[in-house]
Structure 1
Amino acid sequence: MSKYLLNKFLYTVDRDPQLVERYRTDAAGTVEWWERELANQVLNCVVAEKSTWLVFTDEERAALREHDHVRLFELGAHPFLTLTLFIAMFERDHGPLEYQKAYGRALQQHALPYPDIAT
């Protein structure tokens, strides 16, 4: 499991409106493409440096494909990264603050100590 890679996915997709839409409408295809093309690029690096070993686990891949923010949190994804991305994808389908409240309710089952979100 790579919390770094989960968070990197959430961070990079959230910062590109076209990727947000692509992930909203074709999560499985976006996850597969992103893992193949961007997962091993050095984050925020101008030079074309790449690593070769970063891949999602099957469990991470499934949670990303299903837009399962609760499972992503349990896997160590930072809740602010999932929240901001998922607001960009789904807030338009709800009334004011409805999505954010539903997001919070879905995570209510978790009590302290929360899963470790350190990368």
Structure 2
Amino acid sequence: MSRYLVDKFLYTVDRDPALVERYRADPVGTVTWWEAERANAILDAHTGEASTWLRFDEAERAALSTHDYVKLFELGAHPFLTLTLFIAMFERDHAEPLGFQREYAARLAHFDLPYPDIAT
């Protein structure tokens, strides 16, 4: 797994409100587009600078394409990046305060320490 690439996806999508909404509405299309157009762009680089080798593996693509944050956590995606993006996408669907955060915690409750390695 390329934790770097998954974390880069989570980071860049979370920082663009239009991409957050696009990812919420069309996760498969957004992941496909992002991988083709943005995955190899150098963060904070001048236009035109890019690498050529970064690709999601099938497990990463599937988890991102289905908003499966439990699988992303299992794969080693950074939990802070995952949580902040999914709060932006799904907190509005919960009536009670901290509703999504509680759901997130409940769905990850089966993990014991030590958590999956999040080093990049």
- Same fold, TM-score > 0.5, yes or no: yes
- State the partner residue of 2:110: 109
Map Cα deviations across residues 75-116 of structure 1 (whole Å, 9 max, x no partner): 110011010000000000102111101101111110111100
**What is the 5 A alignment of 1:70-89?**
70-89=70-89
Matched with 1:17 is 17
Counterpart of 2:98 in structure 1: which amino acid? L
Structure 1 outlier segments of 4+, above 6 Å: none
Q: Secondary structure at the match of 1:109?
A: coil
User: Partners of 1:23 and 1:47 in 2: how far apart?
Assistant: 23
Amino acid corresponding to residue 5 of structure 1 in structure 2: L
TM-superposed deviation, 1:4 = 0.1
Would you say how many aligned residue pairs link Structure 1 and Structure 2? 119
**Residue type of the partner of 2:104?**
Y
Structure 1: runs of 5+ lacking an equivalent = none
Q: Which runs of 5+ in 2 are unaligned?
A: none
Give me the whole-angstrom Cα distance separating, in 1, the residues matched to 2:3 and 2:18: 24
1:33 & 1:107 partners in 2: Cα distance?
A: 29
* Identical-residue share of aligned pairs (%): 68
Matched letter for residue 114 of structure 1: Y
Supply the AA of the counterpart residue of 2:63.
A
- Quick one: distance in 2 between partners of 1:10 and 1:46? 21
Q: Per-residue deviation at 1:45?
A: 1.4
63-72 or 39-48, larger mean C-alpha shift:
39-48
RMSD: 0.7
